Structure 1
Amino acid sequence: MNDDMTPDGELIARRMMLQQSACGFGALACGAMAADAFTAPTSLAAGPVPPPGAHRMPRAKRIIFLFMQGGVSQVDSFDHKPALQTHDGKKMPFDDAREFARSGQRGIEQRLMKSPWGFKPYGQCGRYVSDLFPETARHVDDLCFIHSMHTDGVAHGPATLFLHCGSTNFVRPSVGSWIYYGLGTENAALPGFVSIAPSIGNGGPRNYGSAFLPARYQGTPIGTAGRSDLEIDNLVRQDASIERQKAQLDLIDQLNRRQIRRRGIHNSEFEAMQQSYQLAWRMQQVAPDILDLTSESATTLSEYGIDDPTTQDYGRKCLLARRLCEAGVRFVQVNYGDNSANPAWDQHSNLPKHATHAKAVDRPIAALLADLKRRGLLEDTIVWWGGEFGRTPYSQSNGTGRDHNPGGFTVWLAGGGFRPGMAYGETDEFGFASIQNKVHMHDLHATLLHQLGLDHEQLTYRHAGRDFRLTDVYGRVIDEIIS
């Protein structure tokens, strides 16, 4: 995107120019109308055109990321390994990076542990899924499994940052911010990037932050992990009429612009502050209705499990994600986790706890897939499910849990032009290490951007004297999983 940069490295879009070169709410209206115009073909003869910022015609418009914080065990969920049943209890050597970091030794013998849950084939594709996810399993013909994921970082903090930002330790923009920066939003009255109930740990706000990208591209959190309410603070003002609020905002806008002219102020933080006021005003008009789930039918609420205490929390989040995407939000992250030192799926000594978490998310995830498909949204929406890494096929310290495993794990994708009913890549016979058609997290990021019409090598931002991108100097598009 360097060809369209200003000297300070910010992308110029006509929508932004309209907002910055005019005053008051007339500019906002013009910007919204212009945004609508940009998404349409210039003529019937010309056919479809890529959205502003895209490098190619997209297969998808948006992403819903179902983040399973803590690391779901692949060999207990979607990566069926009969050899674990056969060799249960047998000790075998494993070259474990995490164990090497602890002891400085490689090839330490570990005790294999079979899965407590059975597996069986589902759908026309016959993909095996464990008893942990019976509802999601009904949708295997719509899912594209990647069984050969591997990533950087053996602890939750670095691996979670790498998942979100492509770096284990440096402050980098999150994937949602890169997408928002590249494509903008489909709805000027809503943020382009929302994170539902994010955790304050293992990266915290950095997981939805914009880092050195202009501040307006940071994610908007709705709720926090561990709380059931899904609200945006101070969204509705009861102490002033709509007319008075509009007059106040007009005055603030005029004063800010006067300061810009007087002092020559120009930085992304100041611009983001101005635009946040304007966005907040627009959100007041539409966001309360989107956040109000009571407008959904009783059938829909029940489908998402909102009538069941076990599933109601994640069910509300998944339903809100559908409503946000339907309203034009580009990237919605639906977090399942908490703020504890050992996040949700992190069962080092109590693997059966996986069942508790699976029951909480399985029905809502299945409902989201069915709902998107029924509404025709799955065709241009990518649903991405996964955690920061997987878990070992052996028991940790000969106990009843599994340790972290960044060397081989599973994610799945649905919709957005990915091949349905497919399984790509393999781990070894025990599910420990990726061995065939290996997919690094950089490759997954590159592929997701590709489906949105963005070239991961061209989606760059110049900062501190060099061009940065989400995939750094790595990443390849996994063409084999694209239909």
Structure 2
Amino acid sequence: MEKEIFEQGLNLNRRKFLSKLSLGVGSAALGSLLIPDLFKGGSPDEEAIMSALPHFAPKAKRVIYLFQNGAPSQLESFDYKPLLNKNIGQELPDSIRGGQRLTGMTAGQTSFPLVGSYFKFNQYGESRAWISEIFPHTAGVVDDICIIKSMHTEAINHDPALTFFQTGAQVGNRPSMGSWLSYGLGSENSNLPAFCVLLSRGKGNGQGVYSKLWSNGFLEATHQGVQFSNSEDPVLYLKDPKSMSRDERRKMLDQISAMNDLSYKEFNDPEISAKIQQYEMAYRMQTAVPEMTDVSKEPDSIIKMYGPDCLIPGTYAANCLLARKLSESGVRFVQLYHQGWDQHGNLPSEMALQAKDVDQASAALITDLKQRGMLDETLVIWGGEFGRTNYCQGKILEDNYGRDHHPRAFSIWMAGGGVKSGMVYGETDEFGYNISENPVHVHDFQATVMNLMGIDHERMTYKHLGRRYRLTDVSGHVIKDIIA
């Protein structure tokens, strides 16, 4: 029996390999008795759910997620707490901290001195929302956005917190939000992927980003995010070799597709089918991507709106403009990651530079979408993986202070796509430490995004290793109060 298996080569998939072994057959038989549909690729009810997507009329057709990697301080941006300035240097009351778990960076501190914001705040718009002076352009579009001041998460370190926001779990190997939407809704443009990823780096202390954040996880490989680069080739390995013509490329792909099709019929491995689709997508992208990344035809008014950095590939401003172009062309989910928000020290100067990096382009994206009539159908999200403490990390040194990680309460904002505009939702206590009104968990946020896209987050599932998975795991409630 072992000789027969060896002679068939290494191309056997797991199911065929197990079927050749008596132990494998016995285990499979036992598993099928305990869980009847354990080895099925999909069940009738799952197929019915997917065929019914969207589950109801969506308010948004696409998402642009401006992820501020490293966690910007809510106390220097959207959560104004004058008590902290009044009581600077005083000890954070134990009754407020409540024995919260600390990171390794402040676990050794015996004192937790309160520190207020170095920046001034003012009220803007009809909502009279408080916004820091380092976000003047965001203040200018405050009546178009909804600020959520009561976000909270369980994760206290960057990697698990970032992964939690993107995939619904603090561990890896789960599909990202963009992959789930690609799986459920697909792309509106057959020449572009449903899920695109753009990276940029600010001037502050950066935290890493990694491909597991835009991974397809256990979904088919076609749902993985396609990363754009700031090099001469926006998508690597997309161009034909210099010695190959377009017709030759087409003939080569046809031959590869035919061979892959034979393999698929023999082994019934879905990854083979996914690979065929990826080759075809890459071929179609050869024409679409160069046109998409060319900003030379954008009018001067748009360049001025986003700022001169939008002409420099790989900058945050350039990625915001590219995100608009991708969304305009039918890409379902565009994910930006902007690094540099991890201010454990030297916060006033570093955060001011970070804010300058993103403020104008973020506001320009809202205005640009609005004047094109796209904002109502495009959900824009801005925020990081957690917030910052109201006490100083280390000693307070005049205008040079830092803040540690704070998962209990932080701020993000959302705009367009069916979200109420000119609204502030949720509140924190006077210390800015705990949520006092309308808490919003990460899974609540994810459930709301799915709802705006016309998806019931509890119904869109995928069976993997005998369990049905979903983006929101086993929790999450739609925040109905912020939906228009």
User: The TM-score by the shorter chain falls in which range?
Assistant: 0.7 to 0.9
Match of 1:38 in 2: none
Letter paired with 2:304? S
What CA distance in whole angstroms lies between the structure 2 residues aligned with 1:141 and 1:299?
22
Tell me the amino acid that sits aligned with residue 61 of structure 1: K
What is residue 196 of structure 1 aligned with on the other side?
198
Note the C-alpha offset of 1:244. 1.8
Q: Residue type matched to 2:481 in 1? A: E
- Which residue number corresponds to residue 18 of structure 1? none
Quick check: 1:345 aligned with 2:341?
yes
Instruction: Tell me the SS of whatever aligns to 1:294.
Output: coil
Corresponding position: 1:81 with 2:84: no
Q: Which residue of 2 aligns with 1:180?
A: 182
Deviation of 1:234 after TM superposition, in Å, equals 2.5
Question: Equivalences for 1:25-424 in 2 at 5 Å?
Answer: 53-93=53-93, 94-95=97-98, 97-99=100-102, 109-197=111-199, 204-223=210-229, 231-237=234-240, 238-261=242-265, 264-306=266-308, 313-337=315-339, 344-352=340-348, 353-399=350-396, 400-424=401-425
Measure how far apart 1:285 and its partner are. 2.1
Q: Is the 8 A contact 2:295 2:311 kept in 1?
A: no
Shift of residue 459 of structure 1? 0.9
Query: Separation in 2 of the partners of 1:459 and 1:142?
Result: 30
Cα distance in 1 between the residues matched to 2:408 and 2:391: 14
TM-score (norm 1): 0.84
Change in Cα spacing, 1:317 to 1:51, as seen in structure 2 (3 Å) is farther
The one-letter amino acid paired with 2:77 is S
Per the TM alignment, residue 63 of structure 1 is displaced from its structure 2 partner at its CA by: 0.5
Q: Output the CA distance in 1 between the equivalents of 2:259 and 2:108.
A: 64
- How far does residue 90 in structure 1 lie from its aligned partner after superposition? 1.2
**Could you tell me whether the CA contact under 8 Å between 2:309 and 2:318 is conserved in 1?**
no
Cα separation, 2, equivalents of 1:179 and 1:364 = 25
Q: Which 5+ residue runs of structure 1 have no aligned equivalent?
A: 1-5, 15-49, 338-343
Runs of at least 5 residues in structure 2 that lack an aligned partner in the other structure:
1-38
Task: Give per-residue Cα distances to partners, 1:280-323, cap 9 Å, x unaligned.
Answer: 01111211100112121222122111358999821110000000
- Deviation of residue 101 (structure 1)? 6.6
Q: Is the 8 A contact 1:65 1:334 kept in 2?
A: yes
Shift of 1:10: 8.6
1:7 paired with 2:8, answer no
- Measured in 1, the distance between the counterparts of 2:465 and 2:279 equals 29
Q: Is the 8 A contact 1:310 1:360 kept in 2?
A: no
1:401 and 1:189, CA in 2 relative to 1: closer, same or farther beyond 3 A? same
Identity %: 42
Secondary structure of the residue that 1:110 maps to in structure 2?
A: coil
Deviation of 1:179 after TM superposition, in Å, equals 0.9
Runs of 4+ in 1 over 3 A off after TM superposition: 10-14, 95-98, 100-106, 198-203, 227-230, 307-312
Query: For the residues of structure 1 that align with 2:311 and 2:353, how far apart are their CA atoms?
Result: 12
How far, CA to CA, are the matches of 2:113 and 2:220 in structure 1? 50
Q: 2:467 maps to what in 1? A: 466
* AA at the equivalent of 1:128: W
Contact 2:103 2:157 in 1 (8 A): no
Matched-pair contact (CA < 8 Å) for 1:161–1:202: no
Which amino acid in structure 1 is aligned with residue 153 of structure 2? T
Task: Supply the RMSD in Å over aligned alpha carbons.
Answer: 2.7
Q: Which has the larger radius of gyration?
A: 2
Alignment check: 8 A CA contact 2:450 2:456 kept: yes
Equivalent pair of 2:199/2:314 in contact (CA under 8 Å): no
Is contact 2:264-2:270 (8 Å) kept?
no
Aligned-residue offset at 1:122: 1.1
